[in-house]
């Protein structure tokens, strides 16, 4: 019986995930949907502090960078408004306007000063891009802020 279940599950999974020459096709609502990715960099904190799984140091200055694409190509952000929202450990949300670096290339950034991450704990950040009728919001990304050494 277990062998039969194993082969049934294996067949089902192979059919669902592209086995036996069947290529999965994206659903129509996923096609042409913008994708937004973000990164963090810092010149005032040693790079090893940034490699601790998203840990940032309280009072540090960071550059948060957004890269937006549609179907693998850069999303032209000309005329768009880009906002980065931080939610503190206490639940207070504060939004900041980002600067478009390369509108045609789909990149923007926000330079946070030392007061932005002024409290230690678990934070969240999310991006919002508004362009005409298009309103894209990223899921909140969690990161940790630790006291300065």
Averaged pLDDT in 10-residue chunks for the chain of 149 residues? 41 44 38 63 45 70 89 90 95 96 93 89 92 90 87
Bridge partners (DSSP) listed for residue 41: 63
> What pTM was estimated for this model as a whole?
0.69
- Structure confidence at residue 7 (pLDDT): 39
- Give the C-alpha separation, 54 to 142, whole Å: 8
Cα dihedral: 82, 86, 87, 92 (round 10): -90
CA torsion sign for 62, 138, 103, 95 is negative
Polymer length of the chain: 149
Q: Count of H helices and E strands in the chain?
A: 2, 11
């Amino acid at each position: 019986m277990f062998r039969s279940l194993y082969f049934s599950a294996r067949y089902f999974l192979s059919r669902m995930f592209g086995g036996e020459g069947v290529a999965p096709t994206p659903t129509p609502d996923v096609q042409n949907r913008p994708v937004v990715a973000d990164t963090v960099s810092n010149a005032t904190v040693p790079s090893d502090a940034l490699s601790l799984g998203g840990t940032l140091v309280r009072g540090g200055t960071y550059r948060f960078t957004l890269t937006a694409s549609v179907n693998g190509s850069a999303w032209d952000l000309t005329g768009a408004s880009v906002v980065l929202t931080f939610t503190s450990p206490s639940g207070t949300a504060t939004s900041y306007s980002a600067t478009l670096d390369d509108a045609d290339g789909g990149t923007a950034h926000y330079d946070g000063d030392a007061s932005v991450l002024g409290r230690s704990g678990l934070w969240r950040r999310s991006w919002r891009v508004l362009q005409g009728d298009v309103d894209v919001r990223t899921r909140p990304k969690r990161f940790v802020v630790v006291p300065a050494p």
